Amino acid sequence: MLVVEQDKKKLQKKAAILVEALPYMRKYSGETFVIKYGGHAMGDSQLARQFAADITLLRQVGINPVIVHGGGPQIGEMLGRLSIESEFIDGLRVTNKATVEVAEMVLCGSICKSIVADLNAVGARAIGLSGKDSSLVTAKKVERNKPDPDSNIEKAIDLGFVGEPAIVDPTILTQSIANGIIPVISPIAMGEDGNTYNINADTMAGAIAGALGARRFVLLTDVPGVLNKDGDMLTELTGDDIADLKADGTITGGMIPKVDTCLHAVEQGVRGAVILDGRVTHAILLEIFTESGAGTLIRGPAPA
């Protein structure tokens, strides 16, 4: 069999990729990575299949992936079909009884099962869970205050059945990981008051990463990472860096809760949190298995 020069170059390139990736495969073998999956990547069928293949590869090389997914656009679409109006306050959907029922149906039903099916189709063993399963997450009601525009007095805002993690018991996750199963988690949980709460997926994922003591918390978004004022991506940040970037107006808007979630995860013991563009093919593999990475790494006090 003849190998032409062009084929040799292709093979050499593949070998170089393996050489670069191998130390990271060894470094992260046996470690847990919590990945928040959402945005455009989840809505694009081709990217969704690629995501499933990449996650399966992580498992095959010894990394333990745990997925927490979002689904805001899909919830909004279903509410529209059912003629249920939505209202947002500070980026959080005001959630009444009907809305939380729809959210649970969409998140725990169609979205979660679709991700599980994609993973199983490419050779993984995946299971769909929510915060309700085995009391994985116990929620508490989110409380928000906002100044009254007339009096400028802080007033409480009732967001309905919007929650945040109060207690995380990762037992079911550690058991799944020990058996080679990839958990796929919907951000729905029961409160101590017996009510069902919809939780922001970023917040849920960060809390689970902290409870698991994950090596990495990966936040897939629709932006390349944290950008400076010139639009260039910042590849690595500390808590002090983030405070400075907030103060000078570089980090604003929707990026603030994302970096805050990453910082909270790091404070809970996660070694590093990454904000990563999920629209980029193989973004997770590029981040984990290359020297340069592909997103913004927020480091904890221990080596990442």
pLDDT at 152: 61
Spell out the residues 6+ positions from residue 43 whose beta carbon is closer than 8 angstroms to its own. 73, 74
**Between 211 and 221, the higher pLDDT residue:** 211
Q: How far apart are alpha carbons 186 and 188 in whole angstroms?
A: 6
The answer as to whether 23 is a domain residue is: no
pLDDT at 299 over 50: yes
Q: How far apart are alpha carbons 136 and 205 in whole angstroms?
A: 12
Q: How confident is the model at residue 17 (pLDDT cuts 50, 70, 90)?
A: low
pLDDT at 279: 85
Spell out the residues 6+ positions from residue 295 whose beta carbon is closer than 8 angstroms to its own. 224, 225, 233, 235, 274, 275, 276, 277, 283, 287
The answer as to whether 168 is a domain residue is: yes
pLDDT at 2 over 80: no
Q: How confident is the model at residue 1 (pLDDT cuts 50, 70, 90)?
A: very low
**Between 236 and 199, the higher pLDDT residue:** 199
Q: Which of 215, 243, 174 is CA-nearest to residue 299?
A: 215
Q: How far apart are alpha carbons 69 and 35 in whole angstroms?
A: 8
pLDDT at 158: 78
pLDDT at 289: 84
pLDDT at 144 over 70: yes
pLDDT at 3 over 60: no
pLDDT at 184: 98
pLDDT at 13: 65
pTM for the full model?
0.86
Q: State how many domains the chain has.
A: 1
Q: How far apart are alpha carbons 118 and 73 in whole angstroms?
A: 20
The answer as to whether 270 is a domain residue is: yes
The Cα-based distances of 282 to 19, 153, 178, 276 in angstroms read 17, 49, 26, 11
Q: How far apart are alpha carbons 100 and 63 in whole angstroms?
A: 34
pLDDT digits (tens, 9 = 90+) for 146-178: 666 666 666 667 788 899 999 999 999 999 999
Q: How confident is the model at residue 11 (pLDDT cuts 50, 70, 90)?
A: low
Where does the chain show beta strands of DSSP type E?
A: 32-37, 64-69, 88-89, 92-93, 126-130, 137-141, 144-147, 154-157, 162-168, 182-186, 188-191, 196-199, 216-221, 236-237, 272-277, 296-299
The answer as to whether 98 is a domain residue is: yes
Q: How confident is the model at residue 15 (pLDDT cuts 50, 70, 90)?
A: low
What residues does 36 pair with on adjacent strands?
A: 68, 219
The answer as to whether 157 is a domain residue is: yes
pLDDT at 75 over 50: yes
Residue 292 amino acid letter: S
What residues does 66 pair with on adjacent strands?
A: 34
The answer as to whether 22 is a domain residue is: no
pLDDT at 217: 94
- CB distance 145 to 156 below 8 Å: yes
What is the extent of the structural domain holding 89?
30-299
pLDDT at 108: 94
Token pair for 160: 């309905």
pLDDT digits (tens, 9 = 90+) for 269-280: 898 899 998 888
Burial pattern 195-220, b for ≥16 Cβ within 10 A else e, equals: ebbbbbbbbbbbbbbbbbebbbbbbb
pLDDT digits (tens, 9 = 90+) for 235-258: 888 888 888 888 888 888 888 888
Give me the CATH number covering residue 151: 3.40.1160.10
Q: How far apart are alpha carbons 207 and 293 in whole angstroms?
A: 24
How many C-beta atoms surround the C-beta of residue 154 within 10 A?
10
pLDDT at 6: 59
H/E run at residue 53: helix 45-60
Token pair for 226: 């944290």
The answer as to whether 5 is a domain residue is: no
45, 164, 212, 123 alpha-carbon torsion, rounded to 10°: -20
pLDDT at 120: 96
Q: How confident is the model at residue 301 (pLDDT cuts 50, 70, 90)?
A: low
pLDDT at 96: 86
Average pLDDT, the chain: 86
- CB distance 165 to 204 below 8 Å: yes
pLDDT digits (tens, 9 = 90+) for 81-130: 988 887 777 667 778 899 999 999 999 998 999 999 999 999 999 999 99
The answer as to whether 10 is a domain residue is: no
